[in-house]
Structure 1
């Protein structure tokens, strides 16, 4: 039996990855764009009270928000399946992050370059936990406000942390960003 035939007989290796970032940066959209199953989302309507707490300036059409997590999955090849866990973006739901990140091989921190301040907590979290991560600048309306070097400097992330541009609405773009994180995780394990 060839290695390919053996791989086809075994189920794919399950790998957990986290998609994180601030409020309204595109986490739910990214999970929905790539997932091969209908994603599980925990979306709730943004109330007038929440609208007063959550800054909707750059996302005026946003009517819902993640209050627990998003979940989806994608089979990379017959040997590997990514299970994606999207975090809630608001600080008030930060207490869930430790549980969502438990067992993850890496994370993708999504950034809206129009409001870099919203992603510092996610970057700090992954750095503190020493979990491999990449920073993905979501190209809202097809563009970003700052170039990669400016964002790297502003976030003060090490050179070993990849900073990429992607579009959370585009399946192939999300795939490429996730593969960057997967390569980081594999390099860390020496695989």
Structure 2
């Protein structure tokens, strides 16, 4: 039987090595030593190690049908777009703009950063990327009839109203309570 050192020196492509009746699976470091150039997607390469990434949930815990999700999420995005357009018109700020295309709403606030709010139909969620609080994923909650972040329970509209009020120096109301009334 060959020693581990001999195998490493030969740069053999080996998936499992038997050493003194103990089964050893090479670590990433050893696996990389066993491969020599070529296709990075072969067994044992770093790109093959998908267990290290976090998978997005395939179904939302809220049990929405895709049609209901579509109606609620589109109504939410439409309300956001209307309220944000009105807000920017009132401000008269040329550095700020709001845009909505293909389920993605972008709010650019010049030096204050950019908000991106988008629908995620496969997950039945609305995702937010905020220059202040970072990325968050919101699920629709029937009991409260709104979009909530599962980690802290905060409602999407509440977070946006607070951050925009602080950033713009004025009271901002988006009217995202009772989402089903918007649909």
Between Structure 1 and Structure 2, whose CA radius of gyration is higher?
Answer: 2
Higher relative contact order (CA 8 A, sep 6+): 1
Please confirm whether the aligned pair reaches a TM-score higher than 0.5, indicating the same fold: no
Give the TM-score taking structure 2 as reference length.
0.28
